[in-house]
Amino acid sequence: MAAVSLRNIVKRYGSGHGAVQVLHGIDAAIADGEFVVIVGPSGCGKSTLLRMVAGLEEISSGEIAIGGRVVNDLEPAKRDIAMVFQNYALYPHMSVYDNMAYGLKIAKAPAAEIRARVDKAAAILELAHLLERKPRQLSGGQRQRVAMGRAIVRQPQVFLFDEPLSNLDAKLRVQTRLEIQKLHRELGITSLFVTHDQVEAMTLAQRMIVMNAGRMEQIGTPEEVYARPATTFVAGFIGAPPMNLLKNAPNAALGGPAGALLGIRPEHLDITPQGWAMEVETLEMLGAERLVYGRVSGEPLVLRTDEGQRAPAPGSTIHLTPRADRLHWFDAASGKRL
């Protein structure tokens, strides 16, 4: 296991005036044994950053260290990392056992050691009964576990996951998330996990890096990022549904600065006899809770209610009061937290 250090990481494509910069000075320190999720929308640079840690993309400037060793100029094979991709990349003609053992055979590891490592990984991932099958005989979730097993047997210092759950259906994604959490608890290997899915990020991360347009907007635990988003981007990206951001709220009455944006989570609004008038447009039933969509002073707003509350009817008007201890204020120009 090893710590990972990212120091002022910059990535440019091209040179001179035509150069396009896609990463703008990323700084982060990932502790030994930590599970960090890099999350952001498509095109924000998260996979590029992961590939630079892996050695699959060159670094334009900055420094990457793994276990205290600068790896900028090292080939991927010499970085002591293992990567799990969105595409399982299994050899179709090989058994599960041979797929998992292939890298060790290439490295000329002793046969007894290969067997021991594969058996141990198969036991952790509940694949022992599938070792003789071919990939075509497996479900998508089983194939992804084989891909993870192939990484485990390498016994690397660092695991790198590049959107490994994207090809799975919703039920399998939940199941595989639980398996990855269990895997990390058992092995304790430093892990970087890239996803565009904020639910994956919130459920898997010990800490998360939220990226936007090649910049790191915030780093922190899921609780910190959810409770105190650093920018309006983070506030609008993390949370399902995201935080309400209002321009026309009565800031002075709520103790906020003039001209600032008010942020309030959908679960931090209460239906009251008086307060903001909300014109109800539609509802979403989500089992134990409901999402109520409407407008306040012409701005869209979402309210979360539980099953014990009477649902307002579309077309009706209700009144809301935001909880005073759950208000967030952001600079309207920069989007930064005030």
Of 47 and 154, more confident: 47
Which pair of tokens denotes residue 117?
Answer: 């490592």
- Give the model's pLDDT for residue 258: 86
Cα of 51 vs its chain's centroid, Å: 16
Cα of 211 vs its chain's centroid, Å: 10
CB atoms within 10 A of CB 255: 9
- Give the model's pLDDT for residue 31: 97
Reported in sequence order, the residue ranges of the chain that DSSP labels E, i.e. its strands, are 4-13, 20-30, 35-39, 61-66, 69-70, 81-84, 158-162, 190-195, 207-212, 215-220, 244-246, 261-264, 269-285, 289-296, 299-306, 317-322, 328-330
Q: What is the CA radius of gyration of the chain?
A: 24
168 pLDDT exceeds 90? no
Residues 6+ apart with CB under 8 A from 215: 24, 25, 26
253 pLDDT exceeds 80? no
Burial class of residue 234 in the structure, from the number of CB atoms within 10 Å of its CB (0-12 exposed, 13-18 middle, 19+ buried)? buried
Confidence of residue 250 (pLDDT cuts 50, 70, 90): low
302 pLDDT exceeds 60? yes
The region of weakest confidence among 82-91, 226-235, 300-309, 326-335 is 82-91
Are the C-beta atoms of residues 135 and 145 closer than 8 Å to each other?
A: no
Which pair of tokens denotes residue 218?
Answer: 């915030």
Of 95 and 165, more confident: 95
Homologous superfamily of 4-236: P-loop containing nucleotide triphosphate hydrolases (3.40.50.300)
- Give the model's pLDDT for residue 252: 54
The answer, yes or no, to whether the previous bond of 164 is cis (omega within 30 of 0) is: no
CATH code for the part of the protein at 265-330: 2.40.50.140
- State whether residue 99 is helix, strand or coil: helix
Q: Are strands 289-296 and 299-306 parallel, antiparallel or unpaired?
A: antiparallel
pLDDT tens, residue by residue, 30-39: 999 999 999 9
Where do you find CATH 2.40.50.140 in the chain?
A: 265-330
Are the C-beta atoms of residues 54 and 192 closer than 8 Å to each other?
A: no
Are the C-beta atoms of residues 245 and 330 closer than 8 Å to each other?
A: yes
Closest among 75, 73, 121 to 97, alpha carbons compared = 121
- State whether residue 135 is helix, strand or coil: helix
Residue 247 to residues 61, 234, 300: CA-CA distances in angstroms? 39, 17, 11
Among residues of the chain, what percentage have pLDDT more than 70? 98
Q: How far apart are CA 196 and CA 1, in angstroms?
A: 26
- The mean pLDDT of 18-35, rounded to a whole number, is 95
Confidence of residue 251 (pLDDT cuts 50, 70, 90): low
Render 179-213 in DSSP notation, one character per residue.
Answer: HHHHHHHHH--EEEEEES-HHHHHHH-SEEEEEET
- Give the model's pLDDT for residue 179: 85
Q: At what angle do helices 96-106 and 140-152 cross, to 10 degrees?
A: 20
pLDDT tens, residue by residue, 174-232: 888 888 898 899 889 999 999 999 999 999 999 999 999 999 999 999 999 999 999 99
Are the C-beta atoms of residues 240 and 199 closer than 8 Å to each other?
A: yes
Which DSSP letter does residue 117 get?
H
Cα of 165 vs its chain's centroid, Å: 11
Are the C-beta atoms of residues 203 and 177 closer than 8 Å to each other?
A: yes
- Give the model's pLDDT for residue 310: 84
Where do you find CATH 3.40.50.300 in the chain?
A: 4-236
Are the C-beta atoms of residues 81 and 23 closer than 8 Å to each other?
A: no
The region of weakest confidence among 34-43, 70-79, 81-90 is 81-90
Q: How far apart are CA 281 and CA 68, in angstroms?
A: 56
- The mean pLDDT of 11-29, rounded to a whole number, is 92
